[in-house]
Amino acid sequence: MRLRNKIAVVTGGASGIGEATVVDMINEGARVVIADMDEQLGEALALKLNERQEGCAIFQPVDVSDETQVETLFETTVSRLGTVDAVFNNAGIGGMAAAESYPLEDWQRIIDINLTGVFLVAKHALGHMKRQGSGSLINCASILGNVGQSMTAAYSAAKGGVVNLTRTLALEMAPHGVRVNTVSPAYIDTPLLRDLDEATLKALIALHPIGRLGRSEEVAKAVSFLASDDASFITGANLLVDGGFTAGKS
C-alpha cells in the first residue's frame, strides 16, 4: 500500500474526482479527511466508507474561499490525527461566458474558489508540512490551465494560475522536505457529461487522441502516486491526465 499510515486531506472530496481520490487513498492505506461544502454528501460518504473500514474517513465542512475555515480544517486535522502527510487541493467550480459579457461577480467567484481557494489551502497545509519536515501537496489544475478555450476566461485564468503557483510553491518548499505538484485532467466521464446529446458527446470525445473520456479513478491514481514516496524525486511537475488532449492535433 503506497499510503499506509498516511493522513490525507482531500478538498472537494465528496463527489467526482475528489470522491474517487478519497476512495483510492483509503485503498492505499491512508486515513482521509473529506473536506467539502456539501455537508450532506460529505457526511454520507464518510459514513459509507467507515462502515466498510472503521476510522478510515472523517468529514470536515469547508469553504476554501474562507481563510478561517481553511485554517480550522488543518488545525482540526492535526489536532485529531497528529499530522497531515498529503493534501489533494481539488475544490473548484466551472463557468462559461464570452469575455466581453462575463459578469464580474461570476468571474470573481471562480477566481475566489479555483485560485485563491487553492492558495489558501496550500498556505495552511504547507505551514504544517514545513514544521514537520515532510509532506506532499497536489493541486488540481486542468487542461485549460495549459491551453486556451473560448468561453472559459475565468476558469482558464484560474487554472493557469494554479499551474504556475505550483511551481513557485515547489521551489519554496523543496528545502523543507515538502513536495508540490499539479495534476491537469482533461474531460472526465461524469453524470453531467452523460447528459449531453450524442453529437456533442462524440465531438468532446474526439478531442482526446486516446479515443475516450477520462475516468475519475484514473485521475485519482495519479494523485495517489504523487502523494506517495514513489514520487519522492518529483516536485514542481504538472502531470497531464488528458488522453493526449494537449499533445496537439494528429
Active site residues: 155
* Main-chain dihedrals φ then ψ at residue 98, nearest 5 degrees: -65, 140
DSSP-derived pairing of the beta strands 86-89 and 57-61 = unpaired
Residue type, 157: A
CA distance 70 to 72: 5
In the structure grid, which three cell numbers stand for residue 113, read together?
A: 474558489
Sheet holding 178-185, edge to edge: 57-61, 31-36, 7-11, 86-89, 135-140, 178-185, 238-241
Residue type, 179: R
Selection from 158, 150, 249 nearest residue 207 by Cα:
249
